[in-house]
Structure 1
């Protein structure tokens, strides 16, 4: 049994590795704009969940050939922020100018980071079960100075991540707090993933790496 991560996100990979799972990474290449455009008047939660499901589904054929008994997890995150006239659901800023504009609006306020999760269970190369859900986590933003914001945008990081910020990178200097699951802000909630695994009949502990002798308090000589 292998866990397949349908994402190129280094943060999601890092979260899973730190939690004892070494996933197989297969990048979906899904056209997110096309998926979103196909949804009739979706709620923010429906958008991120549909995107997560599309990413997991896109790698099924490839995974089924390589790992016929596996679970595939797809994730997508977007930031739900208040706007001047209405709230806005945003993904990755496409330009430095847009990243700066969003940060100027977010600074000193809060946003809801929505992360959709989709889990597909493969048995003998066939999808036998699937479940999807989402999680919302409130992020409280600090107020970087103009010089700090310019320097942050110059790193290129904001354009690579949902909402234009990170918790575990340069952006972490400008986050004052998180209400909810911090791992979901990194892109994948361990608690929600565990629940979805249970829904498809997989115990998370079956995916853990074998503990090393050193972890068990036994020195290993080479």
Structure 2
């Protein structure tokens, strides 16, 4: 019997990662206003936002009985500061000028709630990201695409920004937005088996 997973996020990247891993979640957008959360150290901020998103979704009528509800949030730590989505082009340009040729740490908070028991398991995964020394012209071209405006840290590794990342240390799925190894561990902590989340294992082909 498949255990339903509810993803409390509108992120298409998180959805794609889960689908590629054989999990077809029910998407319920949390609606949490990230700007209203008090300033915290990056690791704590990512986890608190994930917990808020999970809590906001857990009581919704769209949540199937017995589902596991997942809240996630990512921030990039650079010089001790938590960088979320820049939203504005000028901010994205400034971010990339500060990041190029340097390294940051992408933190993703994960909060998983068992709708049947109310039990919660939560943790943060961290991955070091090494940025290429991109030119001003490359920054302008990238910002003009709009991609970096609505993603944590103003970059992706599963889109146009991948060419501007020269390497990572740690779990690459965490950088995309959901750490599959950490999520598997949280699923086990709540007494479930990871393969039980697979929607249709027999349909997975390579």
TM-score (norm 1): 0.88
Contact 2:50 / 2:111 at 8 angstroms: preserved in 1?
A: yes
1:158-197 to structure 2, matched below 5 A, reads 158-197=148-187
Supply the distance in 2 between the matched residues of 1:42 and 1:88 (Cα, whole angstroms): 9
| TM-fit CA distance, 1:60 | 1.4
Contact 2:41 / 2:81 at 8 angstroms: preserved in 1?
A: no
Q: In the alignment, does 2:86 pair up with 1:93?
A: yes
| TM-fit CA distance, 1:94 | 2.5
SS of the residue corresponding to residue 54 of structure 1 reads helix
Supply the distance in 1 between the matched residues of 2:118 and 2:163 (Cα, whole angstroms): 43
1:1-222 to structure 2, matched below 5 A, reads 1-34=3-36, 36-37=37-38, 42-63=40-61, 66-82=63-79, 87-123=80-116, 127-212=117-202, 215=205
Supply the distance in 1 between the matched residues of 2:131 and 2:196 (Cα, whole angstroms): 38
Contact 2:72 / 2:178 at 8 angstroms: preserved in 1?
A: yes
Supply the distance in 1 between the matched residues of 2:112 and 2:29 (Cα, whole angstroms): 15
Partner of 1:220: none
Distance 1:110 1:42, change over 3 A: same
Give the CA RMSD over aligned residues. 1.6
- Unaligned segments of structure 2, at least 5 residues: none
The count of corresponding residues between Structure 1 and Structure 2 is 204
Runs ≥4 in structure 1, deviation > 6 angstroms? none
SS of the residue corresponding to residue 62 of structure 1 reads coil
Distance 1:42 1:149, change over 3 A: closer
